[in-house]
Amino acid sequence: MLQLSGVTHVYPNGTRALDDVNLTIPTGMFGLLGPNGAGKSTLMRTVATLQTPTAGSIRFGDIDVIAEPERLRETLGYLPQDFGVYPRVSAYDMLDHMCVLKGIASAADRKATVETLLNQTNLWAVRGKAIAGFSGGMRQRFGIAQALIGNPRLIIVDEPTAGLDPEERNRFLNLLAEIGENVVVILSTHIVEDVADLCPRMAVLAAGRIQLEGAPLDLIERARGSVWGKTIRRDELEALKASHEVISTRLFAGRTIVHVLSDHDPGAGFEPVPGGLEDVYFATLAKSRRATTAAAA
């Protein structure tokens, strides 16, 4: 179990990227949702011991992550948002090199590890191919392969499906689901569907703070009755924004479908929306923006 208590990080320029973050993350897949700039990557880098928070504590089992970063690194697998490798090196040779860096000294042990990981990530057929020739999905699967070296108990993946086509995304998510059965896997993303598909527990991070936490189905049920929708003309949107709290819009057949947040029937032809995780997410961001504006005023 990973526990974060009061984690705060303020950059030298005064930017408060994290503000009193408290989370308890059990074994299995955990989704961290948030828009760009919410502080997700800062939080993931902090948990991965790449930077020290300004305040707070982080524990993973009996490991004090801040005081004993080397102990955590021994059991950590990390796929950052920007994952760089030597592009002209083959997948097999690169994994072998990373095994050495991870402390696997025996050639026989490295061979067994590399072959197992290439098969697990469905890259065996291209093991001799230079990584420069990999598709985006293949690179991400290679990124997971390197993150699994040493059988980590904590795995962090930061925005792993951004830019992948639907087929590669499904393949990658299925791989994550298999991995996440017996270890702690944190999936940090702004893509709601990834969390909905994979994670039995989740949190929403915005403006550096945890705005919402729980099981997706419970959060959807709690939002029921507060999201309303109707179809409007595009030229009606600005007037509607002035009179209602619009949380999302999308186009369908040339018309605009708008969802608003309201604790009671807003009238004017609105109907209750059955709701989904996307509505929960957008409603949470709207409440966060409202709170930020009120605090500034």
Q: What is the pLDDT of residue 55?
A: 97
Q: What is the pLDDT of residue 297?
A: 66
Per the CB < 8 A criterion, the answer to whether 29 and 177 are in contact is: yes
Q: What is the mean pLDDT of residues 97-120?
A: 93
pLDDT of 296 above 80: no
- Could you say which DSSP state residue 236 is in? G
With vertex at residue 219, the alpha carbon angle to CA 36 and CA 249, rounded to the nearest 5 degrees, is: 50
CATH of domain 2-215: 3.40.50.300
Q: What is the pLDDT of residues 161-215, one digit of tens each?
A: 877 888 888 888 888 888 888 899 999 998 899 999 899 999 999 999 999 999 9
Min mean pLDDT across 6-15, 96-105, 164-173 is at: 164-173
pLDDT of 109 above 90: yes
SS3 category, 44:
helix
Q: What is the pLDDT of residue 170?
A: 86
> Greater confidence, 11 or 255?
11
pLDDT of 291 above 90: no
d(CA 93, CA 79): 19
Domain boundaries, the chain: 2-215, 221-296
The pTM of the full predicted model, rounded to 2 decimals, is 0.87
Backbone dihedral region for residue 150 (phi beyond 0: left; psi -120 to 50: alpha; all else: beta): left
The pair of structure tokens assigned to 284 is 């949470």
Per the CB < 8 A criterion, the answer to whether 32 and 186 are in contact is: yes
To the nearest whole number, what is the mean pLDDT of the chain? 91
Strands (DSSP E) found in 131-238: 154-158, 184-189, 201-206, 209-214, 227-232
